[in-house]
């Protein structure tokens, strides 16, 4: 690159901190692609990481610093910020389904959909807590969720907002990371004098680089076989439907070789890597000093049981989450070139061999790179980390204060208040008021709904200004929340279901108001009786003629009473608007 100087603010520095190797690449955006300027790699001199987890922070930081300094020397620039990925080993993903009954007369609001989603996140958190109870597990942090499907009245639908129905539901994919994973990554970054530009997850980075959104309608599986773990991602119907991890990978194969030939781990690793060179014969010395001569065929036979175990565990996870074999399987990661691997995957998943593909730089069409250091299947994850930073589809890192408590903001750019409060551990019930369900009362054979009184949603402010659950939160914002108040149940009495003004008769030309005859579930009912959901009420006219005579206070019963000019006896029903008359033979009080 000669003496060309680059603007550090425009450079993308991606660092893939793997179990065996740290890969660093620097590039910049050019016409929607990333032009990679330089790549550096360094192996850990000791086993400072196991199964994707940092065990020796100082050791990992020293190796990462070596990579950083080499890149800075080549670029003649001081690197200031870095994009990294958390190991898939630490990722816990739960698929949950939630469902809620609806008032069919009310349209679904955005707040109601958010409430449903928050209910799903809470359900995942509770399920995870129950699964890890008593196991001494580290605290897990909900880093995000995606909607797999919405449902309205049991039928799949793309959006619930403004719809009407009797029930709505959703299937969510909720993901968690241990706090310790983030802490160890941040500590390494701080040790080498960098700030964090972006944080993503290794399987997310890999699938973003290899399987763009337009391919996700297809049912595809991606497996990243590294040194310590094998990360899995599955796509279907336009979305990523599952992430999974198997704690087996290339190190198990290396250990089998080391044990059989009496080699140090690093020597066994070198021999394993030579299997991809095309050589058929190998000669080396064991730890005793004996010269060992072997062949590729002999080593393949030696590692076959380990490959069987690895393939078995990975396919077991794929079939568990996908319920059937995918249409194709993409393999990446350094250990994906292990002999026998493709054939065994094809057999286990009942796929044609050509549908099990080891993908490398040639499959990535959003990069420009002319170097030689990063061309194989191990290039996909570090390039995916860089791509995630370019697209700003990363988990940013900052702080937000919620009711005086500092909460880490780990999300893809600015987030909504509702999402932030989930991160802070708020119960969804304390944020959105759950109004009482309507009471359904049957009146003269027809059902009438009586809604309850709605409560108040949480009172929220951002930096002392009123806010809603839909407003965006940015780093260093201060959020204050006064919890929601619950809705009041619908209170319905007999007197609420009829209008006394509608029940009157004309007695000898004078308008008289009368209470109708009312029964509740077949029994006479008073006006102050409280109704329950599902009660049945019958309202029959304005009572009988006998009731009317008693209400009028006649001291002596008239010998002849007329209803609408027709003689009537005391058992006759009086209806609203009837004309009542009688002969002048009775004395009125």
Confidence of residue 398 (pLDDT cuts 50, 70, 90): low
Q: Is residue 257 predicted with pLDDT exceeding 90?
A: yes
pLDDT at 89: 62
- For residue 94, count other CB atoms closer than 10 A to its CB: 19
- For residue 430, count other CB atoms closer than 10 A to its CB: 14
3-class secondary structure per residue, 554-583? CCCCCCCEEECCEEECCCCECCCCCEEEEC
Element (H, E) at 589: none
pLDDT at 275: 82
The CA-CA-CA angle for residues 364, 224, 216, to 5°, reads 55
Report d(CA 439, CA 426) in Å as an integer: 30
Cβ pair 121, 422 in contact under 8 A: yes
pLDDT at 260: 93
Confidence of residue 556 (pLDDT cuts 50, 70, 90): low
Instruction: Please give the domain boundaries of the chain with CATH numbers for all domains.
Output: 90-178+210-363 (3.30.420.40), 397-482 (3.10.20), 492-582 (3.10.20)
Mean pLDDT of the chain: 82
Q: Is residue 307 predicted with pLDDT exceeding 90?
A: yes
Q: Is residue 88 predicted with pLDDT exceeding 80?
A: no
Q: Is residue 396 predicted with pLDDT exceeding 70?
A: no
More confident residue, 31 or 68: 68
pLDDT tens by residue, 497-515 = 888 888 888 888 888 877 7
Cβ pair 553, 589 in contact under 8 A: yes
DSSP assignment letter at 528: T
Exposed / middle / buried, residue 241 (Cβ in 10 Å: 0-12, 13-18, 19+): buried
pLDDT at 2: 45
pLDDT at 90: 64
Predicted TM-score (pTM) of this structure: 0.62
pLDDT at 588: 41
Section 402-424 average pLDDT: 68
Q: Is residue 463 predicted with pLDDT exceeding 50?
A: yes
Residue % of the chain over a pLDDT of 70? 89
pLDDT at 354: 94
Cβ pair 438, 383 in contact under 8 A: no
Nearest to 327 by CA among 285, 356, 298: 356
- Locate 580 and state its tokens: 């009542």
Q: Is residue 344 predicted with pLDDT exceeding 70?
A: yes
Report d(CA 552, CA 479) in Å as an integer: 67
Section 183-190 average pLDDT: 85
Alpha-carbon 384 to chain mean position = 22
Element (H, E) at 25: strand 21-30
Q: DSSP for 111-148?
A: HHHHHHHHHHHHHHHHHHHHHHTTTTPPPEEEEEEEEE
pLDDT at 465: 92
Q: Is residue 383 predicted with pLDDT exceeding 70?
A: yes
Q: Is residue 133 predicted with pLDDT exceeding 60?
A: no
Element (H, E) at 472: strand 472-473
Section 61-69 average pLDDT: 93
Confidence of residue 414 (pLDDT cuts 50, 70, 90): low
Q: Which of 56-65, 388-397, 413-422, 556-565 has the highest mean pLDDT?
A: 56-65
Map residue 110 onto helix, strand or coil: helix
Q: Is residue 326 predicted with pLDDT exceeding 90?
A: yes
pLDDT at 272: 87
Cβ pair 539, 569 in contact under 8 A: no
pLDDT at 1: 45
pLDDT at 169: 94
Report d(CA 385, CA 25) in Å as an integer: 10
Q: Is residue 585 predicted with pLDDT exceeding 60?
A: no
- For residue 143, count other CB atoms closer than 10 A to its CB: 21
Q: Is residue 589 predicted with pLDDT exceeding 50?
A: no
Q: Is residue 15 predicted with pLDDT exceeding 80?
A: yes
Instruction: Mean pLDDT check: name the lowest of 176-185, 266-275, 361-370, 396-405.
Output: 396-405
Q: Which of 40-44, 106-110, 137-141, 506-510 has the highest mean pLDDT?
A: 40-44
Section 260-281 average pLDDT: 86
Which residues have CB under 8 Å from 255's CB, separation 6+?
Answer: 265, 268
Nearest to 518 by CA among 534, 495, 501: 495
pLDDT at 348: 94
């Amino acid at each position: 690159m000669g003496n060309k100087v680059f603007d550090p603010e425009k450079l993308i520095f991606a660092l893939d901190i793997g179990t065996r190797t740290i890969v660093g690449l620097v590039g910049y955006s050019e016409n929607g692609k990333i032009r990679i300027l330089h790549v550096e790699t360094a192996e850990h001199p000791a086993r400072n990481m196991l199964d994707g987890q940092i065990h020796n922070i100082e050791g990992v930081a020293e190796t990462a610093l070596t990579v950083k300094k080499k890149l800075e020397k080549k670029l003649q620039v001081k690197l200031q910020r870095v994009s990294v990925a958390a190991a898939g080993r630490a990722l816990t993903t739960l698929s949950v389904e939630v469902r809620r009954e609806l008032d069919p007369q009310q349209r679904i609001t955005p707040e109601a959909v958010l409430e449903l989603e928050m209910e799903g996140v809470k359900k995942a958190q509770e399920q995870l807590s129950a699964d890890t109870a008593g196991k001494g597990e580290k605290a897990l942090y909900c880093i995000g969720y995606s909607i797999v499907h919405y449902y309205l009245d049991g039928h799949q639908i793309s959006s619930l907002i403004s719809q009407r129905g009797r029930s709505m539901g959703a299937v969510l994919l909720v993901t968690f990371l241990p706090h310790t994973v983030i802490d160890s990554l941040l500590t390494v970054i701080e040790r080498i004098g960098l700030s964090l530009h972006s944080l993503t997850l290794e399987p997310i980075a890999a699938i973003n680089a290899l399987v763009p959104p337009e391919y996700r309608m297809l049912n595809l599986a991606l497996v990243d076989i590294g040194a310590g773990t094998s990360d899995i991602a599955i796509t279907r119907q336009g979305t990523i439907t599952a992430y999974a991890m198997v704690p087996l990978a290339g190190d198990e194969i290396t250990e089998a070789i080391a044990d059989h030939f009496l080699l140090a781990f690093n020597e066994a690793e070198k021999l394993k890597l030579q299997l991809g060179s095309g050589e058929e014969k190998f000669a080396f010395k064991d730890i005793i000093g004996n010269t060992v001569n072997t062949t590729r065929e002999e080593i393949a036979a030696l590692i076959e049981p380990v490959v069987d175990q690895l393939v078995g565990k990975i396919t077991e996870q794929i079939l568990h989450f996908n319920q059937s074999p995918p249409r194709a399987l993409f393999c990446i990661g350094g250990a994906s070139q292990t002999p026998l691997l493709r054939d065994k995957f094809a057999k286990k998943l009942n796929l044609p061999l050509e549908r099990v593909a080891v993908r490398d730089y040639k499959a990535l069409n959003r990069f420009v790179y002319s170097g030689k250091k990063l061309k194989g299947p191990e290039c996909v994850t570090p390039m995916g980390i860089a791509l995630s930073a370019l697209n700003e589809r990363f988990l940013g890192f900052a702080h937000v204060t919620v009711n005086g408590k500092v909460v880490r903001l780990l999300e893809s750019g600015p987030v909504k208040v509702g999402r932030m409060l989930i991160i802070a551990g708020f119960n969804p019930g304390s944020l959105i008021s759950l109004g009482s369900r309507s009471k359904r009362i049957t009146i003269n054979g027809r059902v009438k709904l009586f809604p309850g009184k709605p409560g108040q949603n949480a009172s929220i402010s951002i930096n002392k200004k009123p806010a809603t659950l839909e407003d965006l939160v940015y780093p260093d914002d201060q959020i204050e929340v006064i919890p929601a108040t619950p809705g009041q149940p619908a209170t319905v009495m007999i007197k609420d279901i009829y209008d006394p003004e509608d029940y009157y008769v004309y007695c000898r030309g004078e308008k008289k108001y009368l209470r109708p005859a009312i029964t509740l579930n077949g029994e006479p009912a008073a006006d102050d009786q409280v109704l329950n959901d599902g009660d049945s009420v019958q309202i029959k006219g304005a009572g009988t003629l006998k009731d009317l005579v008693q209400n009028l206070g006649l001291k002596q019963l008239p010998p002849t009473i007329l209803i609408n000019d027709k003689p009537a006896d005391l058992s006759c029903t009086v209806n609203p608007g009837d004309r009542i008359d009688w002969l002048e033979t009775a004395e009125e009080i």
